Structure 1
Amino acid sequence: MLSVFFIWFINLTRRTRNLWRRLLRRRVAYVRLSIGGALPEFALPPPWWARRFLGASMPLSMSNLRHRLEWLASDPQVRGIVLDINTLTCGWATIESLHQEIRRFRERGKRVVARLTNPDTKTYVAACAADLIVAPPAALLNVTGLYTGVRFLKDALAKVDLSVEVTAVSPYKTAGDPLARPDMSPENREQIERLLDLRYAAIVETIATARRKTPDEVRALIDTAPWSAQRAQEAGLIDAVLYEDELPAFLASQAGKDGGAGSEPQIVEWAQARRALRLPMLRPHRRLVGVITIEGTIAAGPSRQNPLPIPLIGELIAGSESIIQALRQAERNPRLAAVLLYINSPGGSAFDSDLIWREVRRLDRRKPVVAVMGDVAASGGYYVASGARTILAQPGAVTGSIGVLIIRPVIEGLLKRAGVNTVAIGRGANSAFFVSDAPAEAERSAVRALIDDSYALFKQRVSTGRNIPEPALEPLAGGRVWSGREAYEYGLIDASGGVPEALLKAQELAGLPRDRTAPLILIGSGRGRLPPQSFPKDMMEGLITELRQPRVWAMLPFSEDESVVQLREIA
C-alpha cells in the first residue's frame, strides 16, 4: 500500500512539473547523444584509482542509452536525435543490439541522424541503422573489412630455452596454440575463416540494405576503401558532407523535402534536453526481474578489475564468490519473480564455472533464470549459461567452445641457461606435479586424465541443460566456436535477442505482464555471506569438488578488437 501511495505521489509531482515546463515553453526538436568505446550493456564504475588520478567517469551503457531513447520516443515534441558515433570498440552483438534500439526509435515516428568523424568498419555499420549519415569534409571512412592476425611465440620462447606444454580436448581448443605452436593449425584456420565469412556476409548485408545497394556493389566499395568524405557521398555511403554548425540547415532542407515547414530545428545536448522533456509516469510493479552480470574472465574470489590487462586472465575478473552470493541474494529476494543472467565472458576457470553453474541450476528450480549473452559467452561462459532455463544471444555473438585445456610452462632449459641447478627430493610418482621444471610422462598422463574428466563433466552439464544427447553434442563440442546464428541452428541457444527480449521471456516464464520498459533490479553480492539453501529434491546432478591445481581452463581463444576477431595471446 505504501509503495502504491509513493508512486501516486511521484506521478502527481511529475504532472505538475510537466505542466510547468509547458508554461515555460521549453521545446526540444533534436537531441544530441554521443556514443563510443566499449558501450557495455550495464556500466561498471571505473576503479577508484582511475576516478581519482585520471578523472574517469561512468561510461554510457546500452541499458542507459535504451532508457534515453524510450524517454525521447515517448515525448511528442521530439522530432529525432543526432547520434555522434565515435570509434566503437564493442563486439558485434552489441552493434546488433544498438541497431535494434535505433530501429524501435524510428518506428515510433522519430528521425535518427548519425554523425561520423573517421569511422572504421564497425562504427560505420552501427551508423547504418540511422535515417541519414553525415560526416565533415576532412573525414575518412576506413571501412576496409575484417582482418585477423595471430602471433605464435613458440620459436621466440625456444631462443631462451623456454617452452609450454598444452593439453587440450581437441585441436579446436586453441587458446594455448600461440605458446605451443609455431604456426596456425588447420582446425584453427577453418573456424576462424568460417566466423570471418559469416561476419563479413552480415556486414555486407547490413550496408547493402541500409544504403540501397547490391551486395556485390558493397563488396566492391569495401575493396577500394578507405574513402574521403566526398568520395563516400558520391558512392552513396553517406548522405551529406558538412560541418557541425551546418547540420540544422541540412535538417531543415530534409524536412522541406518531406513536406515539413523547413525551419531550422534546434539541436540540444542531452543534459539540457532532459530539463525540457515530458517526464514519464511510473507504473506499479509488484514483482520484478533481477539481473546478475558475469563480465570478464571467470576466476575464484570476488569480482574485480585489474589495473592492467593480464594475458589469459584479462582485465575484468568475474569472481565466482561474488556471483554465487548474488545468485543467493536473488533467491531470497521476495520481490524478484525471475532472474536475467547477463554473460559477457570468454570463460576461465572450469572449477569456478562449475560452482556458478550449480547455483544457477539451484536458483532456476525456484525462479526462472534466463541467460542472455553479450558479445562473448563461450567456454566457461557457455558452461554457466547452460544451467539456465532459456538462453538468448544476438546472431553476432561468439559462443560455444565447449572444451577445456591445461597450460604448463617447461622452464628446465631456461634454468640451465641461467646456471640454476635444482636438486629435487620427493616421495610419490607425481609429488612434483605442481612445481616440476619439466613434466614427466607420468605427470602428462595425469594431466590427460584431468582433461578427460573435466571435459566429460562439461558435456554432461550441457547435455542435461540443453537436452542434447551426448553423441549429438560431440560434433558441436571439442572446443569448436560458433556464432550466435549457428548456435541457434544447432540448439545451443533458444532464441535470438538481447536484454529486452530476455526480459520479456523472463516475465513470460514467471507469469508477469510482458513489459519491455519494466525496471530491472541489478543484484550485487551483498556484504555478508549467505549459505546455500537446500537443493530441490528433483534435481539429481552432483557438484564436482575434487578438481584442483593445475587449473583446468574452459577458455575461449578469441577476443574482439575493433573489427578484428583475434586470438588471445598468452605470455
Structure 2
Amino acid sequence: MKNFFKTLLASTLGVIIGSAILSLFAIMIFAGIIAGMGSSSTYSLKDQTVLSIDLEGILNERSASNPLDKILGNPSSIGLDDILDAIQKAKENDEVKGIYLKAGQFNGGLANLEPIRNALIDFKETGKFIVAYGDFYAQDTYYLASVADKIILNPKGSLDFHGLSSNLTFTKNMTDKLGIKMQVFKVGTFKSAVEPLIQEKMSDANRLQRTSYLNDIWAHLLKGISDSRNIPVAKLNEYADKFLMFTEADSLINYQMVDTLLYTPAVESYLKQLVNIEESKDLNMATVENMVNVKSKTKENKDNEIAILYAEGTIVDDAANNLFSGGSTITAKEYVKELNKLKNDDKVKAVVFRVNSPGGSAYASEQIWNAVKELKAKKPVIVSMGDYAASGGYYISCAANTIVAEPTTLTGSIGIFGIIPDGEELAKKIGLSFDEVNTNKHSSFGGAPYSIPFLLTASSRGFNDEESRILQKYIENGYDLFISRCADGRNKTKADIDSIGQGRVWTGAQALKIGLVDKLGGLDTAIALAVEQAKVTEYSTAKYPVKKDMFSQIFEESMNNSKIKAIKFFMGETGYNQNVTRNYLQTFDIRSAMITEQVSY
C-alpha cells in the first residue's frame, strides 16, 4: 500500500510538472505569433463599410485579448469599452454606412448592455442603418437588437422571451447531514447571501427585495423594447407569458417581435442592397477590433487627462491567495497603489472610478475607500457603476464626489456578515478528537480549526454564548463603520443610511430616488461630469490599470490554468466549483488565535 501511494504521488507530480513544461513550451512557440498580434496598427476604412458587431462571448468592462482563448476554444472576452469606441467611430466616419448586429451566445449583464443600446440609438441619429440578425435571440441580445431598423430571424430560429427570475439553491439540509453547522453573524434584515446556508427557503425580506428589483428591471427592459418596436407593454407581457422560445418563427412576425425571416446568405445580400453595391462584389465589413484601430477624430489635450480606473470583480486583500476567485478580482494592494498614483499625477485632472463589483472583503473595501477619499481631497472623483456596485462595491464608491449608475445597476446592500463552519459533529463522524491547553479564558476562541483538504476548514466546536456575543458585537461595529462611511460620503445621517441599508439591494433607478446615487447614465455621463468638475475644456482620456502586454497575459493565464488543473485533478470539477461559490461568500480572513472568521461586505 505504501508503494502504491508513492507511485500515485509520483505520477500526479509528473502530470503537474509535465503540464507546466508543456505550457511554457507552448508560450515559447506562440511568442513570435504574439509579437505580431500584440502590435496594434491603424486600420484604414474603405468606402461603403458596414460595422459588424458579434454579440458572442463574455462581456467584460475591458477586453482581455488573449489569443490562446481562440486557440483553446474558450469563450472570447469582449470589452464594453471597445464596443462603445467602435460605435462612436462608426458614427463619426462617413465611410461606415451602417451596423450589423449578429446575435449569438452573449453573456453580459443588463446594466452593461444599457450603454451599448444607448450608443446604438445615438448612432441612428446620423440616418445610418442598423440591421440585426440571429439564429437565436436571448432576452438580453433581443433588448439590444430591438433598436435595429430591421430585426431578421433565421426561418428555423427562435426568440427567448419569458421574463426574469431569481433562483437560489439552499444547502442547509445537506450540510446538516454532513454534520456541519454554519454559524452566521450578520447585520442587515435584507443581507441574504447567507440564507442558503442556514435556511430552507427565502426569508420574507429577501423575497420582497428580489421581487422589487426584478420588477423594476423588467419594467425598464419592457419600456425600452416597447419604445423601439412600438409594441404596448401589456402586449409584451402577454408574449412573455406565452414563453416565446417554442413559438413558430412566423408567429413572431405577427407579434411584431421580428420583421422578416432570412437565411444567412440572404442577409448578406440585403446588406449589399443597403450600401448600394452589386451582388457580385464583396461586402466591406469592419469588426470591433478593426474600428478600435481606426484613428479617432476627437481632439485631445494630453496635459488635461481624465483617468478612467476600472475595478471589476470580487474585492479581495491579495489575489495570490484567491485560487477560487472564479473570475476577476479587485485587489486592495493594487488599487490603493493605482489610486495613489492618480492622486499624485499632476496631468490627471479628475478620475472616473468604474466599479463593477458585488462586494467582498471588509478589510480590503476599507483600504480602497480610504484611498478614494484621499484622492477626492486633491481632485474630483466620479463613480460610474456597471452591473453591480453592491455591498463592498458600494463601500468603495460612497466617498466619491458624484455617483452615476445605470437604471438596472444593482447597488446598495449596505450590510455585513460573517460565516464560521462548526465542524464538531463532522469531526466525530470521521473519528477526529481534540484536546487543548490554554493560558487564558479565550485562548481557544471558537475552538481549533481543522481542514479536510479542498473541502472545508471548520472549527472543532461551536461558539459558546460569550464568544457569540463578542463576535456579533464585532460584526455590529463593522456595520456601524459601513453606514458611517456612507453617511459621510452621501451627506446623510447614519440613521438615514440605516433606514435604506440593512443589506437591501436596490436598482440604480431606485437608488436615485433614495439618494444612494446622484444621476442615471453610463461611463460617458460620468466622464462629462468629471470634465465639468475638473473645469477643463480640452482633455484626453486614459484607462487604468494599464493593460499588460500580450506575452505577460498569456504567461500568467497559462500558470493560473496549470494551478487550477492541478486542483481539479485532486478534487474534481464539482468540488472546484463548490469552492468558487464558497470563496465568494467567505472572502475576508480575520485571524484571531487559532481560528479563521470570515467577514464580508
Q: Sort the TM-score into its range (normalised by shorter chain).
A: 0.7 to 0.9
Residue 299 of structure 2 contacts residue 538 of structure 2 at CA under 8 Å; is this kept in 1?
A: no
Residue 418 of structure 2 contacts residue 600 of structure 2 at CA under 8 Å; is this kept in 1?
A: no
Q: Which runs of 5+ in 1 are unaligned?
A: 1-12, 527-545, 556-571
- Kindly state the Cα deviation for residue 45 of structure 1 after the two structures are TM-superposed: 4.9
Alignment partner, residue 511 of structure 1? 535
Residue identity in the other structure for 1:28: Q
Residue 83 of structure 2 contacts residue 288 of structure 2 at CA under 8 Å; is this kept in 1?
A: no
Deviations 1:49-69 (A, max 9, x none): x65972659722111111111
- Kindly state the Cα deviation for residue 364 of structure 1 after the two structures are TM-superposed: 0.7
CA separation in 1, counterparts of 2:288 and 2:397? 41
Helix, strand or coil for the counterpart of 1:460? helix
Are the structure 2 counterparts of residues 497 and 485 from structure 1 closer, same or farther at C-alpha, using a change threshold of 3 Å?
same
Residue identity in the other structure for 2:373: R
CA separation in 2, counterparts of 1:57 and 1:144? 25
1:169 matched to 2:164: no
Residue 143 of structure 2 contacts residue 224 of structure 2 at CA under 8 Å; is this kept in 1?
A: yes
Deviations 1:485-528 (A, max 9, x none): 0011111011011111111111111111277xx432323599xx
CA separation in 1, counterparts of 2:288 and 2:294? 13
Alignment partner, residue 77 of structure 1? 95
Deviations 1:64-105 (A, max 9, x none): 111111221112232201111222221111121111111111
Alignment partner, residue 35 of structure 2? none
Residue identity in the other structure for 2:353: L
Residue 63 of structure 2 contacts residue 77 of structure 2 at CA under 8 Å; is this kept in 1?
A: yes
Helix, strand or coil for the counterpart of 1:213? coil
Alignment partner, residue 476 of structure 1? 500
Alignment partner, residue 229 of structure 1? 249
- Kindly state the Cα deviation for residue 37 of structure 1 after the two structures are TM-superposed: 2.9
CA separation in 2, counterparts of 1:235 and 1:40? 33
Helix, strand or coil for the counterpart of 1:79? strand
Alignment partner, residue 270 of structure 1? 286
Alignment partner, residue 344 of structure 1? 356
Residue identity in the other structure for 2:193: A
1:439 to 463, 471, 475: 463
Please show how residues 369-388 of structure 1 align to structure 2 within 5 Å.
369-388=381-400
Are the structure 2 counterparts of residues 278 and 510 from structure 1 closer, same or farther at C-alpha, using a change threshold of 3 Å?
closer
1:520 matched to 2:542: yes
Residue identity in the other structure for 1:81: I
Residue 451 of structure 1 contacts residue 552 of structure 1 at CA under 8 Å; is this kept in 2?
A: no
Please show how residues 300-379 of structure 1 align to structure 2 within 5 Å.
300-302=317-319, 306=323, 310=324, 313-379=325-391
Residue identity in the other structure for 1:477: G
1:490 matched to 2:518: no
Are the structure 2 counterparts of residues 489 and 272 from structure 1 closer, same or farther at C-alpha, using a change threshold of 3 Å?
closer
CA separation in 1, counterparts of 2:290 and 2:239? 40
CA separation in 2, counterparts of 1:33 and 1:414? 53
CA separation in 1, counterparts of 2:86 and 2:394? 31
Residue identity in the other structure for 1:507: V
1:195 matched to 2:208: no
CA separation in 1, counterparts of 2:309 and 2:394? 15
Helix, strand or coil for the counterpart of 2:328? strand
Q: Greater CA deviation, 52-61 or 108-117?
A: 52-61
Alignment partner, residue 123 of structure 1? 141
Residue 288 of structure 1 contacts residue 521 of structure 1 at CA under 8 Å; is this kept in 2?
A: no
Residue identity in the other structure for 1:283: K
Q: Greater CA deviation, 385-394 or 289-298?
A: 289-298
Are the structure 2 counterparts of residues 525 and 252 from structure 1 closer, same or farther at C-alpha, using a change threshold of 3 Å?
closer
Q: Greater CA deviation, 297-306 or 192-201?
A: 297-306
Are the structure 2 counterparts of residues 148 and 338 from structure 1 closer, same or farther at C-alpha, using a change threshold of 3 Å?
same
1:299 matched to 2:316: yes
1:400 to 412, 423, 428: 412
CA separation in 2, counterparts of 1:357 and 1:113? 44
CA separation in 2, counterparts of 1:328 and 1:511? 22
CA separation in 2, counterparts of 1:182 and 1:380? 26
Residue 79 of structure 1 contacts residue 111 of structure 1 at CA under 8 Å; is this kept in 2?
A: yes
- Kindly state the Cα deviation for residue 146 of structure 1 after the two structures are TM-superposed: 1.3
Deviations 1:378-429 (A, max 9, x none): 0000000001111111000000000100001010000011121111222333
Residue 305 of structure 1 contacts residue 315 of structure 1 at CA under 8 Å; is this kept in 2?
A: no
Residue 70 of structure 2 contacts residue 76 of structure 2 at CA under 8 Å; is this kept in 1?
A: no
Residue 137 of structure 1 contacts residue 242 of structure 1 at CA under 8 Å; is this kept in 2?
A: yes
- Kindly state the Cα deviation for residue 175 of structure 1 after the two structures are TM-superposed: 0.8
Are the structure 2 counterparts of residues 39 and 478 from structure 1 closer, same or farther at C-alpha, using a change threshold of 3 Å?
same
Q: How many residue pairs align between the two structures?
A: 502
1:32 matched to 2:52: yes
- Kindly state the Cα deviation for residue 273 of structure 1 after the two structures are TM-superposed: 10
Alignment partner, residue 111 of structure 1? 129
Residue 315 of structure 2 contacts residue 357 of structure 2 at CA under 8 Å; is this kept in 1?
A: yes
CA separation in 2, counterparts of 1:304 and 1:129? 44
- Kindly state the Cα deviation for residue 442 of structure 1 after the two structures are TM-superposed: 1.6
Residue 302 of structure 1 contacts residue 322 of structure 1 at CA under 8 Å; is this kept in 2?
A: no
CA separation in 2, counterparts of 1:58 and 1:95? 17
Helix, strand or coil for the counterpart of 2:151? strand
Q: TM-score, normalised by structure 2?
A: 0.78
CA separation in 1, counterparts of 2:188 and 2:62? 35
Are the structure 2 counterparts of residues 281 and 214 from structure 1 closer, same or farther at C-alpha, using a change threshold of 3 Å?
closer
Alignment partner, residue 24 of structure 2? none
Helix, strand or coil for the counterpart of 1:464? helix
Residue identity in the other structure for 2:531: Q
Alignment partner, residue 11 of structure 2? none
CA separation in 2, counterparts of 1:273 and 1:177? 43
CA separation in 2, counterparts of 1:416 and 1:350? 33
CA separation in 2, counterparts of 1:280 and 1:369? 26
Helix, strand or coil for the counterpart of 2:502? coil
Residue identity in the other structure for 1:228: E
Are the structure 2 counterparts of residues 428 and 235 from structure 1 closer, same or farther at C-alpha, using a change threshold of 3 Å?
same
1:213 matched to 2:231: yes
Identity %: 26
Are the structure 2 counterparts of residues 73 and 151 from structure 1 closer, same or farther at C-alpha, using a change threshold of 3 Å?
same
Helix, strand or coil for the counterpart of 1:388? coil
Are the structure 2 counterparts of residues 272 and 63 from structure 1 closer, same or farther at C-alpha, using a change threshold of 3 Å?
closer
2:165 to 126, 144, 147: 147
CA separation in 2, counterparts of 1:162 and 1:509? 53
Residue 329 of structure 1 contacts residue 525 of structure 1 at CA under 8 Å; is this kept in 2?
A: no
Q: Greater CA deviation, 129-138 or 261-270?
A: 261-270
CA separation in 1, counterparts of 2:300 and 2:81? 20
- Kindly state the Cα deviation for residue 376 of structure 1 after the two structures are TM-superposed: 0.3
Residue 91 of structure 1 contacts residue 375 of structure 1 at CA under 8 Å; is this kept in 2?
A: yes
Residue 303 of structure 1 contacts residue 317 of structure 1 at CA under 8 Å; is this kept in 2?
A: no
Q: Greater CA deviation, 425-434 or 455-464?
A: 425-434
Are the structure 2 counterparts of residues 521 and 262 from structure 1 closer, same or farther at C-alpha, using a change threshold of 3 Å?
closer
Residue 308 of structure 2 contacts residue 544 of structure 2 at CA under 8 Å; is this kept in 1?
A: yes
Residue identity in the other structure for 1:237: M
Alignment partner, residue 559 of structure 1? none
Alignment partner, residue 566 of structure 1? none
Residue identity in the other structure for 2:97: R
Alignment partner, residue 432 of structure 2? 420
CA separation in 1, counterparts of 2:290 and 2:108? 27
CA separation in 1, counterparts of 2:48 and 2:260? 23
CA separation in 2, counterparts of 1:469 and 1:411? 41
Helix, strand or coil for the counterpart of 1:347? coil
- Kindly state the Cα deviation for residue 469 of structure 1 after the two structures are TM-superposed: 1.2
Residue 103 of structure 2 contacts residue 133 of structure 2 at CA under 8 Å; is this kept in 1?
A: yes
- Say which structure is richer in helix: 2
CA separation in 2, counterparts of 1:553 and 1:228? 51
Residue 158 of structure 2 contacts residue 248 of structure 2 at CA under 8 Å; is this kept in 1?
A: yes
Are the structure 2 counterparts of residues 324 and 384 from structure 1 closer, same or farther at C-alpha, using a change threshold of 3 Å?
same
- Kindly state the Cα deviation for residue 27 of structure 1 after the two structures are TM-superposed: 2.1
Residue identity in the other structure for 2:258: I
